[in-house]
Structure 1
Amino acid sequence: MALGAVAALAVGAIPAQANEAVTYRSEMYVIRDPALAQNPDIVRVTLERDGNLDALGIQPSAAAGQAPSAAKPRIAAADPPYAVDSSRFPAGRKPADPYDYMNHANCLANAATAGQDAGWIKNRFSYCQIDLVWAVDLKCGPRGCQVIGAIGATSAVVGYGKIGSHPENATQRFADFRLVTTIVYTKGVFDQPNATMQATVRCAGEYRVGFGIPNDRACHPGKFETRKATIPQWRLDPNSYFDLLSDGYQPGAEFGEQLAQGVFKFEYEFTPKRDVDLKSVSPEGGLRFDSAFYLRDKQGSIFDRAVPGMAYRKSDAGVAGHAVHIDEARANPDATVPTKQGKRLLGGSSAPGDSLHRLTSARSEDSRARAERNRTVSTNFCKTVKMPPKPPEGGPFDCDEYAFASSYEGSARNEYDGAQYALDYTVRWVNSDQNQEAGRRLFGWQENDRILDLGRDQKLDPHDQERFYIPINP
C-alpha cells in the first residue's frame, strides 16, 4: 500500500524563534481504524497541519517494552464469530486441508474486520490483524511543535494455528506468524541510512489448571522472536516470521487438557539517528494451546477469540431433515415435543447464555455416562404415546434429538444441573441417513477444530468452559 508522490511534511505550527527554548521529542502511534489503515495519507495530512492526531481522536500510544499482564489473561470475543459449513466434514472425515488458512491478500481484503482489536479470525487456525504504525519526530517551542521527521508503515500479520506438536519437541505446542510490513512514508531522520525498525512478538500466558509447569512457559517466543533491520532493508524485504511456543507433557488423562491461554502483542520500535528508541505495541490477540488426550489429534493451538460454529443447511440433502428440525424447533420451542411452555433451546447464536458446550464420551467415565443418559432420555420419550407417529414417507427414521446428546445441554440436563432444565429438549422423526450423517459431521468438526470438553467437572470459570453454536442456513 505504498503511497505515490507525497508532499514533504510542512510546518504544523508556528516555529519557535531563535531566542526561544527549543526541545525535541518523538511520539508513536499504532492506528487500528480500518479507514485510516487503508488511507494513511489522511494521517500524514493531519500531522502536517497539527503536529499530532488529536483531530482524528488518536492519542500517542503508551510506551511498550513490557509484555501483557501475566495474571489471568482475559480476551474479548471477536466480531463476527466464525462458522464453517458442515459439508466440510462428510461422514465425519478429516478434511484434506484441515486448516483452510487465509493468505495476506485475504487479510487485506477483510481490513475492516482485521483492524478491530480482536483482529479477523477466519477460523480457529487462521487469524490476521492490520496496524498502521507511525513514528513522528517533533521540534517544539513555546508556540507549538513542528514535524521534522516521520515514518509510516502498515503491518499485516497473519497467524497460523497448528494441529500436532512442535516438529522439534514432542511435548511443545506452537503457532507461527508472518508479518508483512509496508513502509508508506519516510522523512527527516527516518530517511537516514542508519534508521532502523524492529518488530518483536510478546506473549503472556497462564495454565488454566496447574500441573507443575510455571506460567511463564504457557506462552513464550521460540526461535523467531524479533527482527531488526534498516528502513531500506524493510523496503527490500517486508516479510518477517515469528513463533510462539507452549510447554507441556505428553498428552494423558492424568494431566487433563494441559490448557494454556495467552495474549500476544507485536511491539514496534524505531531508532532514528539520535539513537532515541520509539516503542509502541499493538492491541492483544488471543491464543490457546492444548494437549487434549481424547481428541483425534492430541495437541494443537487455536485462536480463541471467536466463538466457533458449524452450520447445517436445509438445502443440503445429506442433513436436510436434521437442519429443518433444529430450525423449526428453535423458532417455536413451545410447539415441540416433549411439550413445555417457556422451553429454551440453545445454540442458535454465539451470545453468552445461548450456546452449547461439548460433552465427549472419550474424556471420562462421567462424560460417557452423561452422554448416554442424554440419549436414553430422548429415545425413551420417542417410545411413548406422546410422540407423534412417523411420517408415511421418507423413512426409515431415527429419533433425532436437540440439543445434542454430546452436549451438556442435552435432554438429561435437569438430572445434573437442576429441575429448571426439565424437558428443555426436542425430538422428531428424521430420516436415518440424514440424522446419522449430521451426527458424524458434528463429531468430525469438533475433532478437527479442537472443540474441548471443558464442562462442569473442571474448576474453570464460565469464561473458560468452551462453547459453540449451530447456525442453520437456507
Structure 2
Amino acid sequence: MTIRTALSRLIRGTTTVAALTILTAATTAAHPTTEPDVALSGATQFVNAASLPAEQLRGLDHPIPYGVYARSHGSKHVVRHSAATATPSDDQDLRQQCASHAAQAKAVTGWIKSRFESCQKRPYDLVLRDTRGTTTLGRLWFDQWILGFAYDGNRRVDYIASIENIRVQPIPTEDATKWRIGQHFRYTINVSSSDPDPKVIEPGTKERDELLGVWNSTPQWTLTYTSPDRGPLYDQGNQQRVASTVVMDLTASSPNAAPFTGGTDNFHSNVRYDYAGKIAGKYKGTVFTEARVELVMSQKDPAVNESALHIYDALHRPERTFPSWPGKSVPGAKEPLHRQVDQGKIDKNRRKSISECRKVWGDYAGTGLQCDEYPFASTYEGSTKGDNRFSVRLIDGPDNRKGGERLDQMYTLNRILDGDAFHVKITD
C-alpha cells in the first residue's frame, strides 16, 4: 500500500463522535454566561472533563460542530477537505475496524491489528477553566486518529495522524476560533535491544500546533520514520535490528491558558527495524513489536487435523500426551513460544522427540507415520529445554509436513526472528 492511498482513504473515512472536553476559566458551569475576569494570563487551564464533578459541567452539554460555530464567527478556516475519488479497501478497512475495536483503540498503544497495521482512535473531552476553580470558559470535543503502517520489505514506518470531529461550546465572551490543538511526535531508541550503531531518521516535521479551524479544514498529516542500513550483514551475525518507540504528546491551548498537562505520552508505538535476511522471508522490514502473533490451526482442516488435535490435547488435555507426568502443562496458549533459528539446536530437539516416540511406540519405520512434536523443534521451548513440558505423537506423515509448512509461513508472514514470541490457537 502507498502512503498516498493511506491518506486518500483516511480522508474519506467516516468521522465518529468523540468525547473530550476543554474547561476554561470564566463563569461557573451553572452560570455559563457570566463574564469572567481573565486579566491574568495563564489563569486558566485545560483539564479533562472526566476529572470534574458533574455539577461543574452543567450547561456545557450542547456541542456545536466547529464548522457551524466558525461560520457564525466569520472564520475563514471552515472548509473540510475530502478525497476527490473513491479508492478500495485496505486503509479504509483499518479505520473501520479500528472504530469497531473502540476499547482497544483508545488505549495509549491503540489497537494493534497485526505486525504491520495499528490504529489509535482516542476521543477527547476537555474543559477550559479558571485554575482557582471558580469559572469555566467552554468545552472542546474531538477525536484523535493515528493510523500506523509498518512494511515487510522496507525499513520504514508511516503514521497518518489527524484531529477530527471537532465540536465546541464556549461562553459568549470566549472566542473558540483562537483555541489550538497540537500533536508533538518524538522517538527514542532502546540501545540494549538493538544491534550495534542503531539509527532512526525522523521526519522533517514532527509537530503540528494549529488553530481549530486549520485542523477542521486539513485534518490529516503524515510522518515517516526510517532506519538506514549498511547492506546485508546478517551472515556476519548483525541483523541491524533497531528497537524504537514513537511517542506523541497532545496539547490544547487558548490565548489566556496555561499548558494542558493531560496529554503527555498520549500515544506509544514500539517498532523494530531489521535486515535479518532470508530467515525473515523478505530480507528486511519493520514490525510493530507489541502485536500478538498467533499460529491458528483447525481440527476440521483435513490437511492438518491430526497436527491440530495433537496440539489441542497438549494445550488443554495434557494428561493424554507423552511423556506423561502428574500436573503436566504445555506452553503456547497463555504462555508464548519463542522462535529458535539455530539449526543445530533444532536438530537436537528433533532427535530428542523421535527418541521419545520410539520409547512409547517402538520402531514405526515403514508405517507412513511420523513423530510430531509440540512445542515445535524450532522453538526455545522444544523438547531439549529440560522441563519435560512437551508432547510427542505419531501422526500421518503428510499431515505432519503440512503442519510444518504452516508454521514456516507464519514465521515469514510475521517477520518472526530468533527469540520473537508467538502463541498457538487451535479451533474446532
- Superposition TM-score tier, normalisation by shorter sequence: 0.7 to 0.9
Counterpart secondary structure, 2:113: strand
Equivalent runs, 1:177-188 vs 2, <5 Å: 177-182=159-164, 183-187=166-170
For residues 45 and 332 of structure 1, do their structure 2 counterparts lie closer, same or farther at Cα, with a shift above 3 Å needed? closer
CA deviation map 1:255-314 (0-9, x unaligned): 533332233222223343458654633043322222223322122222222442211111
Q: Is the 8 A contact 1:211 1:255 kept in 2?
A: no
Q: Does 1:114 align with 2:113?
A: no
- Correspondence for 1:25 among 43, 62, 70: 43
For residues 30 and 206 of structure 1, do their structure 2 counterparts lie closer, same or farther at Cα, with a shift above 3 Å needed? farther
* Paired AA for residue 303 in structure 1: F
Query: Which residue is equivalent to 1:229?
Result: 210
Counterpart secondary structure, 1:222: coil
Query: Which residue is equivalent to 2:4?
Result: none
For residues 295 and 240 of structure 1, do their structure 2 counterparts lie closer, same or farther at Cα, with a shift above 3 Å needed? same
Query: Which residue is equivalent to 2:192?
Result: 208
Q: Is the 8 A contact 1:164 1:299 kept in 2?
A: yes
Give distance in 2, aligned partners of 1:385 and 1:255. Answer: 38
Please state how far the C-alpha of 1:246 moved relative to its aligned partner: 3.1
Q: Which moved more, 1:436-445 or 1:337-346?
A: 337-346
CA deviation map 1:436-472 (0-9, x unaligned): 1111111111111011113xxxxxxxxxxx3211111
Q: Which moved more, 1:336-345 or 1:306-315?
A: 336-345
Counterpart secondary structure, 1:436: helix
Counterpart secondary structure, 1:208: helix
For residues 204 and 174 of structure 1, do their structure 2 counterparts lie closer, same or farther at Cα, with a shift above 3 Å needed? same
For residues 306 and 322 of structure 1, do their structure 2 counterparts lie closer, same or farther at Cα, with a shift above 3 Å needed? same
Query: Which residue is equivalent to 1:55?
Result: none
- Correspondence for 1:263 among 245, 248, 264: 245
Q: Is the 8 A contact 1:130 1:155 kept in 2?
A: yes
Q: Is the 8 A contact 1:208 1:259 kept in 2?
A: no
Give distance in 2, aligned partners of 1:26 and 1:342. Answer: 62
Q: Does 1:386 align with 2:338?
A: no
Counterpart secondary structure, 2:372: strand
Query: Which residue is equivalent to 2:70?
Result: none
Equivalent runs, 1:232-381 vs 2, <5 Å: 232-253=213-234, 254=236, 256-274=238-256, 278=260, 280-281=263-264, 282-293=266-277, 294-349=279-334, 354-360=335-341, 367-381=342-356
Give distance in 1, aligned partners of 2:257 and 2:39. Answer: 19
Query: Which residue is equivalent to 1:463?
Result: none
TM-score (norm 1): 0.68
Query: Which residue is equivalent to 2:117?
Result: 126
For residues 109 and 184 of structure 1, do their structure 2 counterparts lie closer, same or farther at Cα, with a shift above 3 Å needed? farther
Q: Which moved more, 1:105-114 or 1:303-312?
A: 303-312
Q: Does 1:450 align with 2:415?
A: yes
Counterpart secondary structure, 1:145: coil
For residues 117 and 445 of structure 1, do their structure 2 counterparts lie closer, same or farther at Cα, with a shift above 3 Å needed? same
Give distance in 1, aligned partners of 2:36 and 2:230. Answer: 68
Q: Is the 8 A contact 2:188 2:244 kept in 1?
A: yes
Q: Is the 8 A contact 1:114 1:120 kept in 2?
A: yes
Please state how far the C-alpha of 1:14 moved relative to its aligned partner: 7.5
Equivalent runs, 1:143-222 vs 2, <5 Å: 144-165=133-154, 173-182=155-164, 183-187=166-170, 191-208=175-192, 211-213=195-197, 217=199, 219=200, 221-222=202-203
Counterpart secondary structure, 2:315: helix
CA deviation map 1:39-72 (0-9, x unaligned): xxx9897653499xxxxxxxxxxxxxxxxxxxxx
Query: Which residue is equivalent to 1:434?
Result: 399
For residues 29 and 322 of structure 1, do their structure 2 counterparts lie closer, same or farther at Cα, with a shift above 3 Å needed? farther
For residues 271 and 19 of structure 1, do their structure 2 counterparts lie closer, same or farther at Cα, with a shift above 3 Å needed? closer
- Structure 1 unaligned residues grouped into runs of 5+: 37-41, 52-98, 166-172, 361-366, 415-420, 455-465
Give distance in 2, aligned partners of 1:301 and 1:43. Answer: 42
Q: Does 1:408 align with 2:352?
A: no
Please state how far the C-alpha of 1:159 moved relative to its aligned partner: 1.0
For residues 323 and 401 of structure 1, do their structure 2 counterparts lie closer, same or farther at Cα, with a shift above 3 Å needed? same
- Structure 2 unaligned residues grouped into runs of 5+: 1-15, 61-89
Give distance in 2, aligned partners of 1:101 and 1:398. Answer: 45
Give distance in 2, aligned partners of 1:202 and 1:30. Answer: 23
Query: Which residue is equivalent to 2:67?
Result: none
Give distance in 1, aligned partners of 2:202 and 2:178. Answer: 27
Give distance in 2, aligned partners of 1:22 and 1:50. Answer: 24
- Matched residues, number: 371
Give distance in 1, aligned partners of 2:131 and 2:253. Answer: 20
Give distance in 1, aligned partners of 2:408 and 2:383. Answer: 18
Please state how far the C-alpha of 1:155 moved relative to its aligned partner: 0.5
* Paired AA for residue 398 in structure 1: Q
Please state how far the C-alpha of 1:176 moved relative to its aligned partner: 0.9
For residues 191 and 311 of structure 1, do their structure 2 counterparts lie closer, same or farther at Cα, with a shift above 3 Å needed? farther
Q: Is the 8 A contact 1:405 1:411 kept in 2?
A: yes
CA deviation map 1:332-384 (0-9, x unaligned): 324322334443421122xxxx2211012xxxxxx1111011112222333x3
Give distance in 1, aligned partners of 2:190 and 2:359. Answer: 53
Identity percentage of aligned residues: 22
Please state how far the C-alpha of 1:325 moved relative to its aligned partner: 0.7
TM-score (norm 2): 0.74
